[in-house]
Amino acid sequence: MVKREHAIIGAATVTFLGLLVIKDGEFGVEYLFLLYFFVALFYELDARFAIGAGLFLLIGAALAIQRSEALANQIAIYAYYLLAIGVVLEVVTYIEAGGEDEEEVEAQNRKEEKVKGRIIVVTSGKGGVGKTTITANLAVALAWEGNSVVVVDGDIAMPNLDIAMGVKSAPSSLREVINGKVEIKNVLYDAYEGVKVVPCSPCLDGLTERNAKKVQAIIETLTQEFDNVLLDTPPGREAITLMNRGYEIILVVNPDQASVLDALNMKTIVERKGCKVLGAVLNMVGAVKKELDIDDIEETLGVEVFAIIPQDKKIREASVHEVPFFLYTGPESKASIEIIRLARLLKRG
Ligand SMILES: Nc1ncnc2c1ncn2[C@@H]1O[C@H](COP(=O)(O)OP(=O)(O)OP(=O)(O)O)[C@@H](O)[C@H]1O
Ligand SMILES: [Mg+2]
């Protein structure tokens, strides 16, 4: 790309050279090199062309020396011109890049892109299907797998992620961050396995559109610091206001028609918002005899069921003890194995 300052320098030089030529009445070859230099600067030509050509001419000079010393000297002078041009162009490029090599800048950009964490939203459509339970346990399993994880309670009206994660006391919460009273860093509470929890004190009026935008901004900031930002959501439409383009969605469903159809509606809406539905978690399996089977659920939803969590009284027991079931039942239980599988699938991307 042509930069404005280069254009000015180039135009001034061409004019200057023109004047010189007119004044002396003859045209020296040196001027051609000068012209090449400014054209290269103007069009940001690669300095390596000049250096390469210079080296090529130096070899030519070495070969020519046996035939004619004068010719060899002349070629060597041109080679030095080209090498000097190449070096100056390199220095200009280096200064413009702020002292950093172009490749170094690119490598840094790539590293920064990689560092940015992902936002995974756990949602359903229907209430009571196990969103909070899955969010808390997925958080612990991801941390167990070596990820840095923060969980955010997006169920503003009826939050209980803090209980699920065993956070006993939280003087401030997401609510105060939304209201601008405290900063997000002041509401990152320690929980199991190094997971950080952003709890929310209940706001019975629910979530306004404006506050939903603030929550989005908050969780997007958290991606700078954490590999995974997990968002627990309220049941129903309120969850949708929290979603933003690029968020990744896990649908939690129970093996019944109502839950699956509500999840399908949710999927349709979030996809319209530019979110990516990764897959589903089938929870509370085996609670009753007549249940939908996995193939039907996958076909209806059009996504893969990543994990199948049984109905297990130990899971309810764990929630009463305010401990994620992954830790309460241990990593060998059927539910924990499924959650680890989900965490590994997510880790792979
Ligand atoms: N697989 C399971 N087996 C037994 N109990 C479960 C299972 N999954 C969740 N539960 C229990 O079901 C109840 C509801 O779960 P949870 O709060 O996670 O649902 P939710 O979808 O977050 O609800 P809401 O829509 O109200 O936010 C909790 O008491 C929880 O312990
Ligand atoms: Mg919940």
| Over residues 292-297, mean pLDDT | 96
Please say if the pLDDT value at position 1 is more than 50.
no
Q: Is 309 in the pocket of ligand 1 (CB under 6 A)?
A: yes
Q: DSSP characters for 19-54?
A: HHHHHHSS--HHHHHHHHHHHHHHTT--HHHHHHHH
Quote the strand ranges of 25-142, DSSP E: 118-123
User: Would you place residue 17 in the very low, low, confident or very high pLDDT band (cuts 50, 70, 90)?
Assistant: low
| Count of C-beta atoms within a 10 Å radius of residue 268 | 11
Residue-level pLDDT at 90: 87
Residue-level pLDDT at 247: 97
What is the distance in A from the centroid of ligand 2 to the CA of 346?
A: 21
Residue range(s) defining the domain that contains residue 312: 116-348
Domain edge (last residue) among 108, 141, 176: 108
281 in the same domain as 161: yes
Strand-pair category, 276-285 with 248-253: parallel
Q: Is 185 in the pocket of ligand 1 (CB under 6 A)?
A: no
Least Cα distance to 162 among 134, 132, 184 occurs for 132
Residue-level pLDDT at 184: 97
67 in the same domain as 134: no
172 in the same domain as 85: no
What is the distance in A from the centroid of ligand 1 to the CA of 245?
A: 27
308 in the same domain as 183: yes
Which of 122, 126, 132 to probe ligand 1 with, by most ligand atoms within 8 A of CB? 132
Amino acid identity of residue 118, one-letter, is R
100 in the same domain as 147: no
Q: Is 235 in the pocket of ligand 1 (CB under 6 A)?
A: yes
The ligand that comes nearest to the alpha carbon of residue 336 is 1
145 in the same domain as 292: yes
| Over residues 131-150, mean pLDDT | 97
What is the distance in A from the centroid of ligand 1 to the CA of 319?
A: 8
- Which letter does DSSP use for residue 349 in this model? -
**220-243 pLDDT, tens per residue?**
999 999 999 999 999 988 999 999
**212-222 pLDDT, tens per residue?**
999 999 999 99
Mean pLDDT is lowest, of 21-35, 55-69, 153-167, 195-209, for 21-35
| Residue showing tokens 């490598």 | 107
Domain edge (last residue) among 82, 108, 134: 108
**240-279 pLDDT, tens per residue?**
999 999 999 999 999 999 999 999 999 999 999 999 999 9
The ligand that comes nearest to the alpha carbon of residue 319 is 1
| Over residues 92-120, mean pLDDT | 70
158 in the same domain as 284: yes
135 in the same domain as 56: no
Which domain CATH number covers 185?
3.40.50.300
163 in the same domain as 213: yes
121 in the same domain as 75: no
Mean pLDDT is lowest, of 20-24, 189-193, 266-270, 336-340, for 20-24
Please, what is the average pLDDT of the chain?
89
165 in the same domain as 56: no
170 in the same domain as 48: no
The ligand that comes nearest to the alpha carbon of residue 236 is 1
Q: Is 127 in the pocket of ligand 1 (CB under 6 A)?
A: yes
Domain edge (last residue) among 108, 143, 173: 108
| Residue showing tokens 């990744």 | 248
Q: Is 133 in the pocket of ligand 1 (CB under 6 A)?
A: yes
Task: Provide the domain count of the chain.
Answer: 2
